[in-house]
Amino acid sequence: MMSASRIAVTVFVLGAVGAIVSGCAVGADPAPTRMPVPEIASTGELGIECEELLDALPGWELDPTLSPGPGTPSAAAALVGGTGCVLSTGDTHLLIGLAHPDEASASALQDYFRINGLTSSRDLGSDAYFDPATGDAEIFEDGKWITVVSDSFASPSDAEEVIAAIRKVAAAHG
């Protein structure tokens, strides 16, 4: 039988884990939440560095103290040999991820994004999804997955310039 103190600690730990997974901090406004991105398999490393993406996106800065949070699309991309970066300009952040998911993983990711409220966005590509509530753009093309999330993206058109720059960098790497 658990003591009252062990129960209290367990409840506290579970609450803290829930807050971390949901992206909420104490005192923060509730944000749309979703489960962490599913595990994916890769067809190989991309070889794209954050500095290359930074060069393609003038006006943004790379903060080496920031990295994509656990369970985010950009962190998932980095875990499978892709790239995961956080760029900022003033108070605006840009989370970027690129990876080569295998076919089954790309399909599972697309299902995951649809289940979590992203809708098809033909403005961004034939297999592209966007969520105006989170500023989340997810593009699947030419065997690559591009994920871009920013608090400055209210519509797909807000993300187009950034995505075009990322596509150029990705195309240079085949």
One domain, residues 133 and 57: yes
Residues 108 and 168 in one domain: yes
∠ CA 51-53-55, rounded to 5°: 70
Distances (CA, A) of 137 to 6, 14, 31, 154: 42, 30, 17, 10
| pLDDT the model gives residue 147 | 97
Q: What is the 3-state secondary structure (H, E, C) of 129-165?
A: EEECCCCEEEEEECCEEEEEEECCCCCHHHHHHHHHH
Q: Are residues 124 and 160 in the same domain?
A: yes
In this structure, are 4 and 61 located in the same domain?
Answer: no
At residue 71, the pLDDT reads: 87
Query: Could you tell me if 49 and 18 lie in one domain?
Result: no
Task: Show pLDDT as tens, one digit a residue, over the chain (174 residues).
Answer: 433 333 332 333 233 323 333 332 333 333 445 678 888 998 888 889 999 999 999 999 998 788 898 889 999 999 999 999 999 998 899 999 999 999 999 999 999 999 999 999 999 999 999 999 999 999 999 999 999 999 999 999 999 999 999 999 999 987
**Two tokens at 144?**
């690559």
Count of structural domains, the chain:
2
Indicate whether 62 and 141 sit together in one domain: yes
Nearest-angstrom CA–CA distance, 32 and 40: 23
- Residues 109 and 52 placed together within one structural domain of the fold: yes
Does one domain contain both 51 and 82? yes
Full domain range(s) for residue 15: 1-31
